[in-house]
Amino acid sequence: MVPTASSSSYENDSKNPPDFDDNDWYEESVSDPFNMSELNRESEKRNIKFHTIGYRDGLIAGKEASAQEGFNVGFKESVVVGYKFGLVRGVTSTLSGLPKHVKDKLSGSTESITKLDSLHQTIQLISTNSALKIFHDSILLNDTHSKNSLSTQVRSDDHTSNDNFESFSQDLESLLQEFPSIQLRSDV
């Protein structure tokens, strides 16, 4: 049995008689501005959410690309200097560690051995962390020179430029010429 408005169960509720029109659900959803605005708000929320996700993904990708590029540039700038400095440190340590009679046989000159020991002591005074700091400071100094085009004076006793690292390498190469039996291939 289908209840109707005149049905006895609904007679007591005369204030709100039921309406069983089948099209009410459709008409209410179309004509009700609340439902449309709710859909619009939901759509806007999703749009903002996806925009934010896309922005974050783009930002992360940009940071990664920038970091990789910076690493590549820094590596290219530092690898040769680091290699040469390590080579000077290793060769001077090895030669200085030899007994005096072996050094005399390799060189034949007391002056050469004195230069070798002096270079070795100078290099050993520079720790690895100090060498990194010196290299970093020299890059900053070079950037300052190129940006400002101003000449900044460096203290003469301060080994704070790549030129000093390069001079160590040149000192070793000239010193090894006085040790003819030692062949060192230092090209990078």
**Is-contact 118 124, C-beta < 8 A?**
no
Q: Tens of pLDDT along the chain (188 residues)?
A: 455 554 444 445 555 555 555 555 555 555 555 567 888 888 889 989 988 998 898 889 888 888 888 888 888 888 888 888 889 999 999 888 888 888 888 887 888 889 989 999 999 999 888 888 888 888 888 777 666 654 444 443 444 445 677 888 888 888 888 888 888 776 65
Rounded to an integer, what distance in angstroms lies between the CA atom of residue 118 and that of residue 40?
80
Burial class from Cβ neighbours inside 10 Å (0-12, 13-18, 19+) for residue 168 reads buried
Indicate the domain borders of the chain.
29-176
Q: pTM of the entire structure?
A: 0.56
